[in-house]
Structure 1
Amino acid sequence: MRAILTTVGQDKTGIIAGVSSFLAEKDINILDLSQTIMNGYFTMMMVVDVSDEADFSALSTELKELGKKLGVEINIRNEKMYAAMHEMSGGLE
């Protein structure tokens, strides 16, 4: 399943290395990546490929814990949820 992973926080050394190492250990492939630094704040958005057998809730919890260690906020959501949100908001415009 495809998922969207976001990372936001004060910029510092090791954020990308920490997140990508974690994903590699979990055999999660990065399909697309965008990152920027604005006024000292690091922001990164990834599209990742997560095994259908993965425990998504546990993965989310582990990423939140990793974020605490790295001093950033990390969230992961199923790509289908983003698509559904976009469809719903399309009717409001």
Structure 2
Amino acid sequence: MKAILTVVGIDRPGIIYRVSEALYKFNINILDFSQTIMEDKFVAIINIDLAKASDDFTNISDYFTKLGEENGLSIRLQNEKLFDKMHRI
């Protein structure tokens, strides 16, 4: 399954490190990565492949939500098919 991971928060060192460390932990492959800084905000959209993930979607999503809360970020994991349908309208 493919998914979209979004990360938004105040820019500071270590954001990409923490997110990529979690992806590595769950054996998740990055297919595409886009990031920008908007004034002082870090914004990233990451297309990922969970086909070989070491855990299920719900647990991984919960982990990223908690990681975001611990680091003052909004991190959201969405199924790519659902993401596409939501943004087609």
Q: What TM-score do the two structures reach when normalised by structure 1?
A: 0.87
The number of residue pairs the alignment matches comes to: 88
Verify the 8 A CA contact 2:5 2:47 in the aligned structure 1.
yes
Higher-Rg member (1/2): 1
State the partner residue of 1:15. 15
**Unpaired runs of 5+ in structure 2?**
none
Verify the 8 A CA contact 2:27 2:52 in the aligned structure 1.
no
State the partner residue of 1:83. 84
Q: What TM-score do the two structures reach when normalised by structure 2?
A: 0.90
State how far apart, in whole Å, the 2-side matches of 1:59 and 1:75 are.
10
Verify the 8 A CA contact 1:18 1:70 in the aligned structure 2.
no
Q: Which has the higher helix share?
A: 1
Residue 81 of structure 1 aligns to which amino acid in structure 2?
L
1:86–1:38: structure 2 CA closer, same or farther, 3 Å change rule? closer
State how far apart, in whole Å, the 1-side matches of 2:25 and 2:80 are.
21
Residue 57 of structure 1 aligns to a residue whose secondary structure is: helix
State the partner residue of 2:3. 3
Residue 48 of structure 2 aligns to which amino acid in structure 1?
V
State the partner residue of 2:25. 25
State the partner residue of 2:44. 44
The alpha-carbon deviation at position 51 of structure 1 amounts to: 2.7
**Unpaired runs of 5+ in structure 1?**
none
The alpha-carbon deviation at position 52 of structure 1 amounts to: 6.9
| Structure 1 residue runs of 4 or more that deviate by more than 6 Å after TM superposition | none
State how far apart, in whole Å, the 2-side matches of 1:25 and 1:58 are.
13
Compute the RMSD of aligned alpha carbons.
Answer: 1.5
